[in-house]
Amino acid sequence: MVNRKYPLVIIVLLLCLVCSMGLKAQQDPSQVVENKIEAWLQCINRLHRENINRQKQDSLWLVNAQMMAYLKKVCARQPGTLQDEVRPTDSAGNPLSGINILTSQDNRLRIYCWDTRTGAYQNHFNAIAQVAAKGGNTRMLVLNDIAGGDANDDRAGTLYSDVCRVRTLLGKTYYLVMDHKVYNNRGGGHAIHAYTIDKGSLIPAAIFKTNGKLQHTIAVEHDMAPYGEWAEDDANIKLSDDSKTMYVPLLKKDSPAPRRDSLEVKPVTAAAGTADNANAGTGSRDYYIYRFDGFHYVYDKEANKSLKE
């Protein structure tokens, strides 16, 4: 009688072990997300490295569409992933190239942005945002989907490169999102956008005061011609570590006119009109300096006195 119970006990123990493993897997959704992203990115990179024929090009588009569809579902239905670290790596544990996963310091905003490898002469990016909503829920917002554009650069999207935040004197939080474009080898553009979060939506916030007006975006563009090879870091808008000081690159007088509509927003030429045109400044490039006064980023006249004709 006792001997007959042993198989039953073993079966019960095995069932408990299986259930425990299943519960553990369910409790670690970030690992599942990482694994799926890794698989798609590796497939995208492999297809890109190979000699692309029409059939493989179609496969590349399909893999990107599958990855976008999956992240849409995850961002909307799995709010816990917003709090978890998601860090896709290769078999050696090195971060996979071709993707930026940017998360705000308070874990209320995350952006997934990846190179689809579909551009012939220019990088084309997909991007999706996961935004905190009430009740511990999250909402998703598609920032760019290459499948939704036409055959020109309108589908190219932009590389989202940083997400920061700053708080007002009344405790309101603004999220500062930076994006960056490179136009082949000829130059590029950099922009900073300000948002608030309301009911799971990103709402543009007009907190940059330039030319006497408030706007939610500042953008600059550069061509490599006047400066030799275009230096990405020099041409970027910068923020101090506490995000309360903003440095906007000064476009020199001999710079070529910016290309129209090459950014999603109308370019603003380094707050022209609010300061003297200058050739002296910080390091190898000049910057207009803005300070956050507790409510807006305002041109700092005292800090910019060193700018000269």
Residue 163 pLDDT greater than 90, yes or no: yes
Q: Are 159 and 123 in contact (CB under 8 A)?
A: yes
Least confidently predicted of 165-174, 192-201, 231-240:
231-240
pLDDT, mean of residues 134-149 = 89
Q: Enumerate residues 6+ apart whose C-beta is below 8 A from 20.
A: none
> What integer pLDDT is reported at residue 58 of this predicted model?
84
> What integer pLDDT is reported at residue 49 of this predicted model?
83
Residue 24 pLDDT greater than 90, yes or no: no
Residue 72 pLDDT greater than 80, yes or no: yes
* Cβ-based burial of 242 (10 A; exposed 0-12, middle 13-18, buried ≥19): exposed
Percent of the chain surpassing pLDDT 70: 68
Q: Which of 14-18, 64-68, 158-162, 245-249 is predicted most confidently?
A: 64-68
pLDDT, mean of residues 156-175 = 94
Residue 253 pLDDT greater than 50, yes or no: no
CA dihedral for 39, 79, 155, 157, sign (positive or negative): negative
- Shortest CA distance to 72 belongs to which of 144, 179, 176, 24? 144
* 280-281-286 Cα angle (round to 5): 100
> What integer pLDDT is reported at residue 36 of this predicted model?
94
pLDDT, mean of residues 284-301 = 87
pLDDT, mean of residues 68-89 = 93
Q: What is the pLDDT of residues 184-211, one digit of tens each?
A: 656 678 899 999 999 899 999 999 998 8
Q: Are 169 and 294 in contact (CB under 8 A)?
A: yes
Mean of pLDDT over the chain: 76
Percent of the chain surpassing pLDDT 90: 44
> What integer pLDDT is reported at residue 121 of this predicted model?
73
> Radius of gyration over alpha carbons of the chain, in Å?
24
Better-scored residue on pLDDT, 142 or 228: 142
Residue 272 pLDDT greater than 60, yes or no: no
pTM for this model (two decimals): 0.76
Separation of alpha carbons 177 and 208, rounded Å = 13
The pair phi, psi for residue 11, each rounded to 5°, is -60, -45
Better-scored residue on pLDDT, 275 or 232: 232
Separation of alpha carbons 194 and 216, rounded Å = 5
